[in-house]
Structure 1
Amino acid sequence: MPRVRDYPLRLKQPVRDVQAFLSSAGGLRPYALASADFEPLVPEGEGSDVLAFVNEVPAAELPPEFGAAFGEGVLAELRAWSFNGVPPYAVRVRLRDARWREDESTAAGFAWAGRRAAREAGHCIHEGVLPRPYVTRWPSARTATHPVPEYDVPGPRPSVPGRTVRDVHVRLVTSAACGVFAIATTDFEPLPADSGLLFEFAAEVPEDRLPREFADAFEHGVHHTLCASGTRRVPTAAFRVRLHDAKWHEVDSNEVVFAKAGRRAAAEALRCCAEGGAPRPVDPWPAHPRGPRV
């Protein structure tokens, strides 16, 4: 196991095609789709920067401010893992491809996507796994000044045909000293085969009702479970997941419990696809009425 005093470490091998996707479905998030490579970087000398970002997407295909925002987000996330100001890895990040929409994309959205890409790359580095793909075919940039043609991404496809599963309700609530609290209701809708998408998350609960970090954690849990049972981290079934209701608690809610709620919701949706029927409420700790005193 590497020691902190050995930072920065050099990657043993690059991590290719790390995709980050923010869907504007639901109207509460900006649209951003990006793919980046994380490559080993050899520092030029003592005191030189061990993190670098290169935007390889032409300005005709992606506004420069969006590419710069992606770089700021990914480098900020990598620097957040530093110890005594030294990042754990010496990395060069190359933005290979990106898509945007004229009225739905923002610089803040691409910075958000950059942070997501860095977290996914970190997971791949530490666990030795492939990155989770979001698309099998990159959409054409129809809203850009110079349209970019569609192209297919080689690799496996979902193996199980999805079906619509409505109102998957998860309730993780305990009232112990260190309680947990996460309540969420989602719909799972199969994505069209010609959409090129493997996974899409639509956040329909505004941030004043559910903080963004909890919605992100729930999405991560859903995506993790769908990919965990698939081939080469490709989702078993291609779903558009709509989070349309949620509740949280100021003390007992956190990202871990909402990620667990997302995993439980995805597992129930996959069970419905395999067995048929309506979803069952997921409540591992139901409230039991207190019996009479004796």
Structure 2
Amino acid sequence: MGRVGVGHYRRGRPVWHTVPRRPPEGERQMAFENGLAAARPLRGVHVDHERRSPAGWARIEFVIDFDPLPSGEDERLHLRMGADSAGGHPLADRLATALKREMYDIWWNEVLPCPVHAVLRHCAWEEEGADRAFLGTLTDIAARLAVEEAVRALREERPPRPVGRRRVAPPPPLPRAVHGVHVRHVIQTACPAEVALAWADMLPLAAGADSEYQFVVDLPEGRRSRGGPLPAEFAEAFGAGVFEAWERVGAGRPPYAARVVLRDAAWHEYDSHTRSFHRAGAMAGMETLRCIEEGREPRPVGRGARRRLSGGDSGSGTSPR
């Protein structure tokens, strides 16, 4: 990770943000020498993913080949559309852009500094009642699933496995209930700022339930932030953040079947938006998985989770309900 100054000072010191950087040549060479970025072809990474919403349904399926290039020969990441890769589809450019972005982020920032040539083939979309934004989100998630599976296969020295909702078995129920997951996501050094506070319970879904993920809003009556009750789109963004974080961990499906109940939330009329609550949901989802893995109760998570909020929030994991 590298540091980039934001151009202003606080109490006489520069303020820094930590951002991903491409590893320097020494780290790239060391990775090759240690075998972390084995320069071997990886053929047939198969993604078959779908998403559903009350308004519609969409599916994307594609196969992509990755051919790592020798170190120092070429610093660029190449992506070529195969002859049968649906290059004329309206979302083909979106998929190509998403794949290039994920290749750069993961190949260079996950200590796999390997120049790579990728060929996308057998790409197809199906949809019914889905709008362009819904299709775009599906495409972005599928691109990340493909590149993450390629990285895992290289690191584990194994053939790639199919990923995506249609290729992964239905998940088991959440092993136990996790109550009082508290996220305090407050960033005031960015423009725009981000403010999202939420408390949620994660409950197991019974085996054989109709769905693998349920999201319920159960906010206390009468509790309001200064701007009024929590907007519905903020609550929906929180639920989507939990689901998408779990979807990535489970290679296309959540690792567990769970019911997520949003118990309480606070927001700011100017600094809160769907992006901040989406990120808060992702943090809540990952903290839940850590609790299950480590056998513990939830801890406050998020930027500034351990700082005291003006207005009485102590930063503990307990809902003010």
Normalised by the length of structure 1, the TM-score is 0.52
Identity %: 12
Q: Specify the alignment match of 2:157 in structure 1.
A: 128
**What whole-Å deviation, never above 9, does each CA across 1:223-265 have from its counterpart, x for those lacking one?**
69988xxxxxxxxxxx9x5756346787995746513525878
Q: Specify the alignment match of 2:307 in structure 1.
A: none
State the number of aligned residues: 223
Q: 1:20 to 1:116 in 2, by over 3 A?
A: farther
Q: Does 1:49 align with 2:76?
A: yes
SS in 1 for 2:52: coil
Task: Tell me by how many angstroms 1:40 deviates.
Answer: 0.6
Q: Specify the alignment match of 1:64 in structure 2.
A: 89
Contact 1:33 1:99 in 2 (8 A): yes
Task: Tell me by how many angstroms 1:221 deviates.
Answer: 4.1
Q: Which runs of 5+ in 1 are unaligned?
A: 138-156, 193-199, 228-238, 268-281, 288-294
SS in 2 for 1:12: coil
Q: Distance in 1 between matches of 2:115 and 2:179?
A: 39
Task: Tell me by how many angstroms 1:216 deviates.
Answer: 1.3
Q: Specify the alignment match of 1:271 in structure 2.
A: none
Q: Which runs of 5+ in 2 are unaligned?
A: 1-24, 184-197, 217-231, 267-275, 300-315, 317-321
Q: Does 1:39 align with 2:57?
A: no
SS in 2 for 1:284: coil
Q: Distance in 2 between matches of 1:95 and 1:182?
A: 41
Q: CA RMSD in A?
A: 5.2
Task: Tell me by how many angstroms 1:73 deviates.
Answer: 0.8
Q: Distance in 1 between matches of 2:77 and 2:178?
A: 43
**What whole-Å deviation, never above 9, does each CA across 1:87-119 have from its counterpart, x for those lacking one?**
634131323243311422635132332233222
Q: Does 1:170 align with 2:181?
A: no
Higher strand proportion = 2
SS in 2 for 1:65: coil
Structure 1 residue aligned with 2:248, among 213, 220, 223?
Answer: 220
Q: Distance in 2 between matches of 1:17 and 1:25?
A: 27
Contact 1:221 1:263 in 2 (8 A): no
Contact 2:65 2:120 in 1 (8 A): yes
Normalised by the length of structure 2, the TM-score is 0.48
Q: Which amino acid in the other structure matches residue 179 of structure 2?
A: R
Q: Distance in 2 between matches of 1:162 and 1:255?
A: 19
Q: Specify the alignment match of 1:231 in structure 2.
A: none
Task: Tell me by how many angstroms 1:75 deviates.
Answer: 0.8
Q: Distance in 1 between matches of 2:150 and 2:233?
A: 27
Q: Specify the alignment match of 1:184 in structure 2.
A: 202
SS in 1 for 2:234: coil
SS in 1 for 2:179: strand
Q: Specify the alignment match of 2:297 in structure 1.
A: 284
Contact 1:202 1:242 in 2 (8 A): yes
SS in 2 for 1:49: coil
Matches within 5 A, 1:147-162: none
Structure 2 residue aligned with 1:77, among 102, 105, 119?
Answer: 102
Q: Which amino acid in the other structure matches residue 4 of structure 1?
A: E
Q: Specify the alignment match of 1:111 in structure 2.
A: 140
SS in 2 for 1:68: helix
SS in 2 for 1:259: helix
Contact 1:26 1:203 in 2 (8 A): no
Task: Tell me by how many angstroms 1:74 deviates.
Answer: 1.0
